[in-house]
């Protein structure tokens, strides 16, 4: 085999390397076969710099520039499952979902087949434009992107059946709760910057909101305002 730089390829992109990652996710409690299949077939090495592509199928976060990271595959799988799974193990097909923190677009791509219309907000413009180009090249066509501060949500498109936040605010943003449809879910890591964060799932119920803790996580902070210019 000598194919390189494609979705197949040798070494780090081999079926065996990917299967090892999937086994890890399964042993960590990711049981939805559709989500495991999506992660198995999605070329994660195309979301990171070429210099890091040999590490793309390790279960780790990796740097993507601008001080940001691509999330750990286990955490992407866990959040996707938390957003979609029903008590009987089936998955919801969402009609509208919102993601905050596009980054390189990996979580966006994992989620896209399970959602009719996906909206994704990123505060750092160059990351967003790279993610947009990358997903277009992968023929992920049901996503609309916006360079903005996700603390405002996306009022023109609300309500959403699901909202997923991939950076950690230090409190649950009320605006995002308000943009949830009935029975809609918000999956968000909450906690102090640099401290321990809890992954929470908040469900809109008939008489308010139900809150579940899904475990400790470590995310980059959710920051206010759009980032202005290079640093
Ligand atoms: N979803 C990505 C992870 C991105 S890291 C993945 O799949 O790997 C978190 C991202 O959230 C960063 O790109 C960061 O710039 C962005 N972010 C932080 N605060 C934000 C805010 N208020 N609004 C929108 N994006 C934000």
CATH number at residue 112: 3.40.50.150
Question: Rounded to the nearest 5°, which phi and psi values hold at 205?
Answer: -110, 180
Ligand 1 close to Cβ of residue 222 (< 6 A): yes
pLDDT tens, position by position, 98-108? 999 999 999 99
**176 touches 186 (CB < 8 A):** yes
Please give the model's pTM, rounded to 2 decimal places: 0.94
Q: Is 69 inside any structural domain?
A: yes
Q: Is 182 inside any structural domain?
A: yes
pLDDT tens, position by position, 195-220? 889 999 999 999 999 999 999 999 99
Percent of the chain with pLDDT over 70: 93
Long-range contacts at 29-38 (CB < 8 A, ≥ 24 apart) = 29/78, 30/74, 30/77, 30/78, 30/81, 31/81, 31/89, 32/81, 32/84, 32/85, 32/89, 32/91, 34/91, 34/113, 34/114, 35/77, 35/80, 35/81, 35/84, 35/91, 35/110, 36/77, 38/110, 38/113
pLDDT the model gives residue 194: 80
pLDDT tens, position by position, 58-75? 999 999 998 899 999 999
Q: CA–CA separation, 68 vs 85, rounded Å? A: 28
User: How high is the mean pLDDT of the chain?
Assistant: 93
Question: Is residue 2's pLDDT more than 50?
Answer: no
Q: Is 18 inside any structural domain?
A: no
Percent of the chain with pLDDT over 90: 87
Q: Is 230 inside any structural domain?
A: no
Report how far apart, in Å, the C-alpha atoms of 52 and of each of 23, 35, 206 are: 22, 24, 47
126 by DSSP, 3-state: which?
Answer: helix
Ligand 1 close to Cβ of residue 153 (< 6 A): no
Q: Is 83 inside any structural domain?
A: yes
Which of 75, 122, 147, 153 to mutate for ligand 1's pocket (most ligand atoms within 8 Å of CB)? 122
Q: Can you tell me the mean pLDDT for 1-23?
A: 65
Q: Is 7 inside any structural domain?
A: no
Ligand 1 close to Cβ of residue 101 (< 6 A): yes
Domains: count for the chain: 1
pLDDT the model gives residue 13: 65
Ligand 1 close to Cβ of residue 151 (< 6 A): yes
pLDDT the model gives residue 4: 40
Note down the domain range covering 172: 65-217
CA of 88 relative to ligand 1 center, distance in Å: 31
Q: Is 159 inside any structural domain?
A: yes
pLDDT tens, position by position, 13-37? 678 889 999 999 999 999 999 999 9
Question: Is residue 188's pLDDT more than 90?
Answer: yes
Q: Is 99 inside any structural domain?
A: yes
Does residue 213 have a cis bond before it (omega within 30 degrees)? Answer: no
pLDDT the model gives residue 16: 87
């Amino acid at each position: 085999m000598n194919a390189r730089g494609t979705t197949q390829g040798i070494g780090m992109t081999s079926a065996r390397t990917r299967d090892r990652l999937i086994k890890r996710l399964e042993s960590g409690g990711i049981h939805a076969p559709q989500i495991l299949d999506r992660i198995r077939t999605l070329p994660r090495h195309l979301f990171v710099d070429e210099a890091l592509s040999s590490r793309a199928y390790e279960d780790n976060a990796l740097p993507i520039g601008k001080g940001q990271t691509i999330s750990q595959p286990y955490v992407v799988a866990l959040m996707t499952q938390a957003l979609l799974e029903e008590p009987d193990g089936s998955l919801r097909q969402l009609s509208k979902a919102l993601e905050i923190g596009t980054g390189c677009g990996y979580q966006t791509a994992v989620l896209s087949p399970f959602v009719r219309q996906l909206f994704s907000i990123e505060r750092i413009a160059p990351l967003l434009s790279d993610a947009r180009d990358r997903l277009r090249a992968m023929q992920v066509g049901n996503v609309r992107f916006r360079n903005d501060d996700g603390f405002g949500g996306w009022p023109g498109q609300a309500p959403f059946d699901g909202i997923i936040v991939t950076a950690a605010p230090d409190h649950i943003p009320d605006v995002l709760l308000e943009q949830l449809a009935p029975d809609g879910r918000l999956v968000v890591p909450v906690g102090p910057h640099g401290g321990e964060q809890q992954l929470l799932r908040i469900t809109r119920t008939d008489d308010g909101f139900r809150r579940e803790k899904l475990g400790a996580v470590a995310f980059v902070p959710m920051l206010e305002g759009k980032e202005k210019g290079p640093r």
